[in-house]
Amino acid sequence: MKISRLLLLTILSFMVAPLSVRAAPPGAATAGRPEVPSVRPLRQRPELSGPELYRSKTHVLVHYTTSGRDSTAPAFAESVAVYSESAWVRIARFGWAMPAPDQGYGGDDRMDIYVRSVGIVAGSCPDSAYSNPYPDGVSCYHQYNCSLAMNEWLKWVGTHETHHSAQARYAGNLGRWSYENTSNYVVRKVFPDCWEVYDWSFDAVSPLSTPWLSINHSPTSDNYVGAGALFWVFLDEYYGEDAPRRIWDLMGRHAGEHTFRDFDSVLRTDYESSLAAALGHYAIWRYFTGARDDGLHFALAESLRNCVVHARHTTFPASGDQGSHGPRGPAGVCPIEFVNSSSQDLIITFDGQVRHDWRVYVLAIRGGEVHEQLMDLDAANSGELRIPVALAQTAVLLPVVVETAGDSDSTAALQFDYSASLADEKVLGLEAPGTAVLLGQRGANPVAGSVPFVVTLGTGVPGRLALIDATGREVRDYRVAGTGRPETVTWDLTDRSGMRVASGIYCCQLSGAGGIVQRKLIVK
């Protein structure tokens, strides 16, 4: 069932209102608490159009009435209470800080939900400051539209809004995009079936249909603010399910708004990565969605739409630029495909707008194998990468914006140029039959990540690829069976014990029946 996206704008809004003291619901605990809380609420609690009734759960208190414009069926109020209570329990299982107590407003410290006639589907409203242990934390109450249908959609809304209150416990002053993105991700996390009820990937404005937009794109005119949940799903799958919660925890512990700084800090400290690296890998991850699912990148890929490709080239030389969809802010990317049906290598160049931070990846794809290569850029954001024909039939250029100074609502689209041309394959080695031949990595020296070598040995000729450091010590070796066809051997820059090797110069030596081929490799 598709729901109109414009109905989903559940905005955390802040406004000071006079203190409103309401009678406690039947059975509410009041011992030890003053009649009037010492902290003024940020917002006055709603007044219902008729006598106030209650549906009570362990963590949730639903306020409703059966008369007037806010009239609600008791069964509907009970469903709101059940779904919200279930969401509370499930979110807590994943270790999130749960909604702050509201200092007695609404009758007690449970999370209050008011079912009434209101102009939104549902909303989470900041109520009173709660700085334990997060300095900018606030408590919240919720408002639900009394005309909502009583179906699976209500489960989605209950989870989304309950998690908003958990977010507000961390901080009540962050960017709207991070609230909406994360709460939609949590819906998927705690109720996987809800993804089918509300499938973000098919929106006209989403990280797949408009990949050039930034993760913090958040105008009220479209629903990218919710579709951006895919970024948090990526963080969960790529770094582990605790990564999103750790990021929110750090954002809450620092007073003020510093979302991107805390992203980077958590990824560096806990995952030996960085925000720039995450944004780059997120671009790669999105490319392998829909029909491009390779079973390696994204668990939900097959069920999603194809990520939009900026351009596709099948003849060379080829060139282009950003056109009308230049990337805008963090994670903005423009995938460009090159299909090489020749017997020549492909040389790809990139020139990005200066004074901006880019990461440029090239995916070399042949059959079921994918090699990810990061292009080295100079101070002018220019770079070149040579892709051996034996390594790729399809090459994908992914220019990704990784700076976090702006977003797509305030930053102009960045500009870039690219080109691709064919070049004769340069073979290293002796020409006698059966000799070992070592190809690849001519344009990727020095290297900082995994190094794929394309090796060709005569049929039936066994070979050995050895990696030797500057002292002459052999740090790693691989056995290669001669098939007469190019084969890929990938070195992950680790030694035989699994430890990453030190930066420096290494000799890559391939030996076979016909002799030895070697070349220099510089490891960053």
Facing residues of 500 across strands?
494
pLDDT of residue 408: 65
Is pTM, for the whole model, over 0.85? no
Average pLDDT over residues 1-9: 37
pLDDT of residue 256: 92
First to last CA, the chain: 51
> What is the pLDDT confidence band of residue 436, given thresholds at 50, 70 and 90?
very low
Question: In the numeric block, which tokens belong to residue 39?
Answer: 């902290």
* pLDDT, tens digit (0-9, with 9 covering 90-100), for 105-163: 999 999 999 999 999 999 999 989 999 999 999 999 999 999 998 888 889 999 999 99
pLDDT of residue 515: 65
> What is the pLDDT confidence band of residue 196, given thresholds at 50, 70 and 90?
low
Q: Which CATH number fits domain 308-423: 2.60.120.380, 3.40.50.11810, 2.40.50.140, 3.60.20.10?
A: 2.60.120.380
> What is the pLDDT confidence band of residue 205, given thresholds at 50, 70 and 90?
very high
Label residue 378 exposed, middle or buried (CB < 10 Å: 0-12, 13-18, 19+). Answer: exposed
CB 176 within 8 A of CB 225: yes
* pLDDT, tens digit (0-9, with 9 covering 90-100), for 15-43: 323 223 334 455 444 333 333 334 455 66
Would you list the domain boundaries of the chain?
Answer: 1-191, 308-423, 437-523
Query: Mean pLDDT lowest for which of 372-386, 430-444, 466-480, 499-513?
Result: 430-444
* pLDDT, tens digit (0-9, with 9 covering 90-100), for 86-113: 999 999 999 999 999 998 999 999 999 9
Q: Is the pLDDT of residue 241 over 50?
A: yes
CATH code: domain 437-523 is: 2.60.40.4070
Q: What is the DSSP string of 431-454?
A: -STT--EEE--SS--SBSS-EEEE
Average pLDDT over residues 374-403: 91
Higher pLDDT, 271 or 201: 271
pLDDT of residue 289: 94
Parallel, antiparallel, or unpaired: how do β-strands 111-116 and 138-145 relate? parallel
Rounded to whole angstroms, the Cα distance separating 422 from 386 reads 9
pLDDT of residue 450: 79
Query: Mean pLDDT lowest for which of 25-29, 396-400, 408-412?
Result: 25-29
Nearest Cα neighbor of 263 from 168, 177, 355, 161 is 177
Q: Is the pLDDT of residue 428 over 50?
A: no
Q: What is the dihedral of CA 252, 256, 258, 262, to 10 degrees?
A: -30
Q: Is the pLDDT of residue 469 over 80?
A: yes
Average pLDDT over residues 389-397: 88
* pLDDT, tens digit (0-9, with 9 covering 90-100), for 332-381: 999 999 999 998 889 999 999 999 999 999 999 988 788 888 999 999 99
Average pLDDT over residues 433-437: 41
